[in-house]
Amino acid sequence: MSAGDPTDAALAGLAAAGDERAFSRLVARHKAGLYRLLRRYTGDSDEAYEAVHETFIAAWMALGRYDANRAFLPWLRTIALNKARDRGRRMAVRRFFLGGDENELAVAVDPGQTADDGLQARQAMHLLDRAVSRLPDALKAPLLLTAFEGLSHQEAAAILGLSAKSVETRIYRARKALAASLDPTVFLGN
């Protein structure tokens, strides 16, 4: 955003008054970041894309309730995480009734493989994304907001409705769970 660009709050105000172009600017400004957050949260690019779409629909519908005295992006991230959780619950119900192994998409990486380093790095990132997406919501959201989105514990706490200490504790538990579930040789290249 350059010095002449309107703030998110100004654009949100214009959008709430019916200016669709202002809302389109907000979408353009934030869709990539939300997609990255939700891609890591869900572990699935299609699910993330759908959740981003639902996020912006919900944000458009709720603009009248947005408080311009508060930062827009944390408000939008809160909506996005709620949409991802809702989609996750719906998918769990579908899997329960329709059957399906939730581990069926797991990818195994042979540490002794001769593939080039780029492929190995992509596979390692895929494994990490899958492991993060399988964390319980209570651990996943604080980890993603701080480690991947760069928020402070206090900022993540405000989005999640927790104390900063709770966020710190949940991040510790998330990292511990990830360490227990991942093969370190995949990431160390041994």
pLDDT in tens, 7-35: 999 999 999 999 999 999 999 999 999 99
State in words which class domain 1-101 has: mainly alpha
Q: What is the pLDDT of residue 30?
A: 96
pLDDT band at 115 (very low <50, low <70, confident <90, very high): very low
Q: What is the CATH number of domain 112-190?
A: 1.10.10.10
Tens of pLDDT, residue by residue over 42-100, are 888 888 999 999 999 999 999 999 998 999 999 999 999 999 888 877 776 666 555 54
pTM, to two decimals:
0.61
The pLDDT assigned to 96 comes to 56
Alpha carbons 179 and 52: distance in angstroms, whole number: 29
* Three-state secondary-structure class, residue 166: helix
**How many other C-beta atoms can be found within 10 angstroms of the C-beta atom of residue 28?**
9
- When pLDDT is averaged across residues 152-165 and rounded to a whole number, the result is 91
Amino acid (one-letter) located at 7: T
Residue 92: the pLDDT is 66
Which tens digit of pLDDT belongs to each residue from 123-150? 667 777 788 888 898 999 898 888 878 8
Q: Where are the domains of the chain?
A: 1-101, 112-190
Rounded-to-integer distance, Cα 143 and Cα 175, Å: 8
pLDDT at res. 93? 62
